[in-house]
Amino acid sequence: MEEAEVRVLLVCLGNICRSPMAEGILSAKLEGLGRLGRYHIESAGTGGWHAGERPDPRTLAVLHRHGADCRSRARQVEPADFEHFDWILAMDRSNLRDLQRVCPPSRRDHLFLALEPAGGTDVPDPYYGGPEGFEQVYRLLDEALGLWITRWEGRSAGRG
Ligand code: 4NP
């Protein structure tokens, strides 16, 4: 039987710093495992101010330093996302609340905090800070996304 596709949406506020970082890390990890083909990964922002922009250069610099990349452009979360994605991972509690407000009640159990498997809460917004904030975002997401993969790959029959 063919494996079910796992559809993952990473969400932050602007979709130029944290969620593209998460998209790049997750894609690189899955590619390293030879499992990227099973997944459909996108990122989006709760806000639309940066729609159409490439990721922040500071996010790209950190990704490149770690052998990863993100080639997508920013977009805002749209209603169809709640139907399409199996796992919608919010970068912080504010993003999660914004998603919960517009998500149909029947799909709210698809919303999570990205750091949940690592026992964390918020990925700090690095936009107004220095480069070390972007490294911290990388470290937090690297750990948590590895744990998400363990969870997803452990469920060969899909959502259970
Ligand atoms: P992100 O960071 O949500 O991680 O992409 C931000 C990017 C832009 C803004 C805020 C946060 N902004 O206010 O423009």
For residue range 56-68, what is the model confidence (pLDDT) as tens digits?
999 999 999 999 9
**Confidence class for position 116, pLDDT limits 50, 70, 90:** very high
How far is the centre of ligand 1, averaged over its atoms, from the C-alpha of 105 (Å)?
27
Q: Whose CA is nearest to atom 9 of ligand 1?
A: 14
CA distance 54 to 72: 7
Ligand 1 mean position, distance from CA 36 (Å): 27
Query: Quick one: pLDDT at residue 13?
Result: 98
Which residues partner with 76 through β-bridges?
Answer: 45
Q: Which residues are catalytic?
A: 12, 18, 125
pTM: 0.95
Half-sphere exposure of 127 (CA within 13 A, CB side): 12
The backbone torsions φ and ψ at residue 9, rounded to the nearest 5 degrees and listed phi first, read -115, 125
Average per-residue pLDDT for the chain: 95
What are the pLDDT digits (tens) for 68-112? 999 999 999 999 999 999 999 999 999 999 999 999 999 999 999
